[in-house]
Amino acid sequence: MVVGNQGARRFKDIIPVSLSVPIILRQIGISLSIYLFDKPQGKGARRLPFLFRNQERKKTMDEKNKKSDSEQPFHIKYRPKNFDEFLGNEPTIKSLKSLLEKKDRPHTYLFTGPSGNGKTTLARIIAKELGCKALEFYERNAANTRGVDEIRDIIDNVRYMPCGKCKVFLFDEAHGLTSDAQEALLKLAEEPPRYVYLIFCTTNPERLVVTLKNRCQHYSLALLNEDTIKALIDHVLREEEAELTPDIMQMLIKASEGIPRKALMLLEKIIKLDKDEQKRVLLDASLEVTSRDGIKDLCGILVRESSRTDHNNDWEDIQEILKKLNSPAEEIRKVIMEYMAGFLLYATSEAEREKAIRIIDDFKRSRNFDKASLVKICYQATHESEDEGEDCSE
């Protein structure tokens, strides 16, 4: 037995084969390059990443598959596997179905919309519809692919023909890609080989480079309506042989906010509880929703383009909301700041931009933010614009 020298022996054994194969092939007119490699390390690792990453990926997929269905959380267990199982967003599905049937179908897709709304699911369904083999479906997200180096690996890989029909690259949470990485991808998105498809999913499309966004067939996924959420819940209840009383069902639908993942996670949380506990869990969940919605309404009023006569109405509306809000003031402040940042990003007029900046400044300046500060700033914000209105009319 040779100890510690297996690598060399194996290498020697391979040499005659690896030499004779190209000679024979060359004689029949085919030229071939053979690379011998061990587990890639150091700099070379970047050159041959996909083969090994795929092996890793396959392993984890196999491991995942080993988990029996009953161990899986509902939102994984009931993930739609084809267009027919995908509920809601019918116009999108219809359009996708007809696009994919075409010979000259697009090679780059972008799915946007709130988290838990089916973007990743849809991307996987498309890969399947395109006839992509599991090993040639490359799912990347900001956790493993962010920078330009990883994108160069992908571009390297794209040069090789697929074993199956096509290669599909899914860039999930694509807003996490650096702008260099996006620029590098742009070239590929502009002229992808006929067997390459790129799919981008993101909750923040505004963080994608506009040129890249414009290259894509863009679908924005809407929240599901109450009937569709109910249909999803009913389906899972049938499969799980469980029931909910109508009032609990109604509470669950409300708390889900049109987001299928939320519906499934909440359902899983309550399915084995007794009715009182179900009520408590769902009440908590809906309280969270109402207070968040209340803050959004409040923000909507703060930035609304009111006529001068509306100022009192604005304040009255705000008073009503503030009376109902029961989250800690600091949490409310954070939501307001987030809303205003979004509003500023999308503002289309100077007046809107100024308004957003003023509100951001007001809420930023205050330290030890408490309920009194919140109420005071809201009052001032509605009345500040009144002064300005007077200024303008002078």
Minimum Å gap between C-beta 284 and ligand ADP is: 21
CB nearer to ligand ADP: pick between 79 and 355: 79
Neighbour count for residue 345 (Cβ, 10 Å):
12
| Chain residues 99-138 in contact with Mg ion, contact rule CB under 5 A | 120
119 binds ligand ADP (CB under 6 A): yes
Contact segment (CB under 6 A) with ligand ADP among 55-63, 111-119, 161-169, 209-217 equals 111-119
Binding-site member from 40, 57, 61, 87 for ligand ADP (CB under 6 A): 87
Give which of 384, 389, 388, 379 is closest to 315, Cα–Cα: 379
As a residue count, the chain comes to 394
258 lines the binding site for ligand ADP (CB under 6 A): no
The interface region with ligand ADP, picked from 12-20, 115-123, 192-200, 268-276 by CB under 6 A, is 115-123
Q: Does 261 bind ligand ADP (CB under 6 A)?
A: yes
Pick the piece of the chain touching ligand ADP (CB under 6 A) from 78-86, 282-290, 322-330, 340-348.
78-86
Q: Which helix (H) or strand (E) holds 128?
A: helix 119-129
Q: Which stretch binds ligand ADP (CB under 6 A): 73-81, 126-134, 180-188, 340-348?
A: 73-81
The encoded tokens of residue 119 equal: 């973007």
Residues 195-234 that bind ligand ADP (CB under 6 A): 201, 232
Site string for Mg ion, 144-173 (x = CB under 5 A): ------------------------------
Among Mg ion, ligand ADP, none, the one that 98 touches (CB under a kind-dependent 5 to 8 A) is: none
Angle among Cα 386, 388, 391 to the nearest 5 degrees reads: 120
Question: Of 374, 303, 375, whose CA–CA distance to 341 is shortest?
Answer: 303
Q: How near is the Cβ of 265 to ligand ADP at its closest, in Å?
A: 9
Sign of CA dihedral 17, 19, 23, 29: positive
The bridge status of strand 167-172 relative to strand 137-141 is parallel
Asked if residue 270 lies in contact with residue 301, where contact means CB atoms within 8 angstroms, the answer is no
Is residue 140 part of the contact set for ligand ADP (CB under 6 A)? no
Q: Of 183, 172, 111, 112, which Cα lies nearest the Cα of 147?
A: 183
Q: Which lies closer to ligand ADP via its Cβ, residue 215 or residue 261?
A: 261
| Secondary-structure breakdown of the chain: helix, strand, coil percentages, each rounded to the nearest 5 | 65, 5, 30
Q: Which of 280, 271, 224, 286 is nearest to 86 (CA)?
A: 224
Q: Please give the span between the terminal C-alpha atoms of the chain, in angstroms, as a whole number.
A: 100
Does the footprint of ligand ADP cover residue 260 (CB under 6 A)? yes
Choose among 46, 237, 199: nearest CA to 122: 199
Instruction: Pick what 263 binds: Mg ion, ligand ADP, none; C-beta below 5 to 8 Å, kind-dependent.
Output: none
CB 340, min distance to Mg ion, A: 26
The whole-angstrom separation of Cα 185 and Cα 202 is 16
Of 118, 192, 205, 294, the residue at the interface with ligand ADP (CB under 6 A) is 118
Q: Which does 278 bind (CB under 5 to 8 A by kind): ligand ADP, Mg ion, none?
A: none
Binding residue (CB under 6 A) for ligand ADP from 120, 182, 278, 286: 120
The smaller minimum CB distance to ligand ADP, of residues 98 and 115, is found at 115
Nearer to ligand ADP, 113 or 192 (CB): 113
Minimum CB separation from ligand ADP for residue 231, in Å?
Answer: 9
Question: Is the C-alpha dihedral spanning 289, 293, 294, 295 positive or negative?
Answer: positive
Distance CA 204, CA 176 (A): 9
Residue 127 main-chain phi, psi, to 5 deg? -55, -40
DSSP secondary structure code for residue 222 in this structure: P
How far apart are CB 102 and Mg ion at their closest, in Å? 26
Which positions touch Mg ion (CB under 5 A)?
120
Which positions touch ligand ADP (CB under 6 A)?
75-76, 78-80, 86-88, 115-121, 201, 232, 260-261, 264
